[in-house]
Structure 1
Amino acid sequence: MMDSTLTIAPDLLVQDKQAEQLGSRAKLSAHQLTDAERKKLKKISQDFEALFTGMMLKSMRATVPEDKLTGGGKAEETYRYMLDQEYAAAAAKRGGTNSIASMVEKELLKRYAVPAQKKGGGTAGEEQ
């Protein structure tokens, strides 16, 4: 007859304990984000949106046939690529509440367990 008790390997217990310790350390250090670090997260988010939008514009351009009027060529291809990158960067900087950059930034802030800022300057959990 087989014994129906559940045993957990010691290495799994060690891994679980390490994960718990890392999580508690992250929560402790999360409230210590400076304004410079928050700006860095915002910049990373905007760069991600610009990259994504640039890739999308490149894919969209690939579906449109080459313009015979301007002649095409490598110079025009390079110019269009640079123009698309500028469009993407401008769209990412303009942002908005439902932009990709703002969503990525919110997720990064959640990842670091930072309370959301209210418009009045306090955190969402504080009353003013």
Structure 2
Amino acid sequence: MQGKTLVLVALLLMLGCTAQPPASDRLYQELGGQPGITRIVEGMLLNVARDGRIRHYFANVDIARLRSLLIQKFCADAGGPCRYEGASMAESHRGLNLQPADFNALVEDLQLAMQREGIPERTQNALLARLAPQRGQVIRQ
């Protein structure tokens, strides 16, 4: 399942898609609304904490604040009623020298969290497609 999703993300990036405002809150609802997104973010952060590939990037991060911002971000990107109030992706990742493998590890941790929540693959792919255009703002900033 992860391979299919990574292929989808790569395809979207090759097509040079740009972030489009969500047309409806359907994805938000399919992710379980605010409670579902909260569980997904919390699961992803737990996965990151155990992920030796990338957990060092989060060593000096205020995890409670990051949790709150990620919930806002995913909610807004999924068409929910939230407004993201954090820094731009480019600004918040500047100077980290993140590589594609780092980005992919985080995507895998997010996918695992969604799988554990029983989110259907189609819905997972829809969220990843909304997040994929931000990849260029995160890597090597």
TM-score, length-scaled by structure 1:
0.31
Higher relative contact order (CA 8 A, sep 6+): 2
